[in-house]
Chains A and B, each alone.
Chain A
Amino acid sequence: MIAYHFGRGRARLAPYLFLIPGLLLYLIIALGPSLATAGFSFTNATGIRGAPINWVGFENYKEFLLLGQAAKDNFGALGRTLIFCFFVTTIQFSLGLFVAMLVNQGLKGTNFFRTLYFMPVILGAVIQGLIWSLFLYPLGGPMARLLEFFGTSSEFLGGAPAVAFTWVIVVQIWANMGTTMIIFLAGLQTIPTEMYEAAEIDGASKWQIFKNVTWPLLTPSVNTNLLLNIIGSLQAWQLFLVLIGYRNGTQVLGYMIYAQGFGQTSGSTSSSFRQGYAAAASIILFILVLIIGSITQTILNRRERRILG
């Protein structure tokens, strides 16, 4: 029997009282703004305190999903968000696992390489953007020189939308692969060496060892990484802002929300702030993340139960 440390009677309330400050903090900082965003999505709020706010019902949602070519462009952004998520998640996940296995070999200089691969994570989006803007500078930057050697050229981040979009995927992976690697590395280091020794004694090949020992025992790390990569890439917007700005054919939902909310869609200095409309777009993004995140988590949990019991 587990002893209850807080005694009997009213004293049993103590744990709940201890929870109150944390709960209040959560309500104020996390849940409150989320609920307010849902509320604002039914208004024409501008974000300017004192400006009239009118209830517009589902108008913002109708405009986002149905009104004219803008709605089709929104679906284009939605599609790009999913494409971005797919490529970032699959490549970052695979590369992170591969690099984690490399730096887990106990070879000379391992610590140096771990630091090197993780370093981009500690840089902010602005610094990451600056580094890549210089690397991809079309008038004599390192990448331009390389292409010049092969007799070709590119505008890179300022070029065709598909090219610019591809480079943001590359930078996003570079910027976050370190986190994926560290989580996998932590997972790899929890696998007992006896398991590998037993497999080797049984004559298992390297591939068989990976498939039957490493991969199943990495399940918790796989789940964590997949969820973090999916949610992170669905919500990405900062690198789009610092690398390419608001350009047709490159926007993802996260960046569209920012641009709509803060009047940065038209390039005009007096664009309207449409925070009600941006809130509706946020809720749509939230629903997308919720659906994809829930399905992924359900599948991963089932897999974890099947493998680890």
Chain B
Amino acid sequence: MFKKFCFYIVLFMLLSLVLGACSPKSPSAEEQPVKDEEVTLRVLVHQNPPMVEFMEAFNTKFEAANPGVTVDMSVVNANDLSTVTQTRLTANDVDVVDIFGFANAAQPYMKNVEPPNWQTLIEAGYLMDLSDQAFIKNYDDATLQDAGSYNGKVYSVNLGRVSYSGIYYNKDLFTANNVKVPTTWDELVAACETFTGIDVPCMTAGGKDGWPIFVGAYGLTGSIYPDQEALVEGLWTGTIKWNDAKSMEMWDRMKVYAQEMMEAGASGVGGDAAPGRFASGAVAMFPGGTWYASAIEASEPAFDWGYIPFPGSNDPEENKYLFGKYDQGWAIADKSPNKDAAIKYLEAFSEPANYQEFANAVGFIPTQATATLNTKIGQEVAPYLANFRVGYEQYWVPPKGVGQYANPWASYFQPFGTFDDAQELADKVQADLQSGLDALN
């Protein structure tokens, strides 16, 4: 009896395994017929509260205009966007993805570097060629070319540029203390001394997220090296060194920025809490990107603020630039079974009226020629738009073998990092870079 029982159990398990392996393939999402009347469009975006709020409203409007289409939008942290995008594209589990402007492409003078992940995704056939879609004509050619094209084909439409090299300032505090809005480095130092003298910290940043501590100081690098593409080439070819006399000026000022301007404890402030801390009037200035503007307005609507380029130089002419990057864009999964719905979605989004609403909500510098800068941040940056430049970190690709300090980051200084001496840090940064360049030979 027991023998029979065992025999049948084993037979059943083996049969299950064999039949499981040989059973006809269940239809994948790719093979399932798309029902015209019912489509679930899977959209992936990164966390940016005003953008997410706008998208939720837009999705409702889109669903009403397209009966049978349901938008299933997922929101992930910006740091995790590339990982989740890769995973979901590979699993064919997403139709429309939010993808940052194409950056960090390998240049002819670069050797021994890895391609950026957007390039790998295109080469692996995951992003749809949008070149023939009518809606891309709504975006300006320069944007399509600079932020969404590869090998002559358009794979993404970029939705806006952001500047990260400016400083928000508290207008009431400046007026009450007779402080002039700084246009040079010395004026910025003097303004900070005035505020710290009355026990108001000069600046804060969302240092808990790491990069916000140094992102404002990209303006310092920019005022010393206004042509950031040339800076990257110079670093690669050895014509610019991080410890030469010109760069030392930058490091000396970064030390002041990290140790005298930034408030103690800024490393613990979350990226999403920093705008609120600035809007509460606790600090005088807030170096950061234009994307923070809507959060500042939301946390304290009556708060009066302004936005200026970081005055890193003592020559005001060198402080007229705003550095930044192409932010969010849309791409369609090439293997998507819902391509028609995805194209409709981007068509609707790209209609000038909808795009204008998006730009108003998010505060991006528009990439559609017909759109205007209606927001407060738009008005603040308008005088500098002619001098908008793509920043260093969008061009920089490190050679393999570089050390961990091969970047111009103010956060290497104490109290956020290890270094106290500007020359020592500059030598370390250059040595770490040189190590990678030497490894090429």
Contacts and interface: CB of A to CB of B under 8 A. Distances in A.
A266 interface: yes
Interface residues of A, number: 57
Interface of B is mostly: helix
A160 B117 contact: no
A185 to B, nearest CB: 36
Contacts of A267: 210-211, 393
B439 A158 contact: no
A70 B401 contact: yes
A70 B402 contact: yes
Contact of B207 (A6, A158, A269): A158
B268 A48 contact: no
A268 B207 CA distance: 16
B83 interface: yes
Interface stretch (A98-106, A107-115, A137-145, A278-286): A137-145
Contact of B435 (A7, A18, A69, A159): A69
Nearest to B13: A21
B150 interface: no
B86 interface: yes
A39 interface: no
Given A63-B401, A67-B401, A271 B116 contact: yes
Given A70-B436, A158-B208, A270-B117, A144 B402 contact: no
B268 A269 contact: no
A270 to B, nearest CB: 4
Contacts of B78: 269
Given A144-B265, A269-B82, A271-B116, A160 B439 contact: no
Contacts of A160: 414-415, 417-418
B121 interface: yes
A225 interface: no
A268 B78 CA distance: 10
A133 B269 CA distance: 10
Nearest to A154: B415
Contacts of A247: 210
Given A267-B210, A272-B120, A69 B431 contact: yes
A172 interface: no
Given A133-B268, A272-B117, A51 B416 contact: no
Contact of B210 (A245, A269, A270): A245
A105 B436 CA distance: 60
A139 B269 contact: yes
Interface string A72-86: 110000000000000
B416 A158 contact: yes
A187 interface: no
B74 to A, nearest CB: 17
Contacts of B14: 17, 20
A30 B242 CA distance: 47
A71 B17 CA distance: 47
A19 B82 CA distance: 41
A156 B6 CA distance: 62
Contacts of A52: 123
B376 interface: no
Interface string B93-121: 00000001011100000000011111011
Interface string B144-168: 0000000000000000000000000
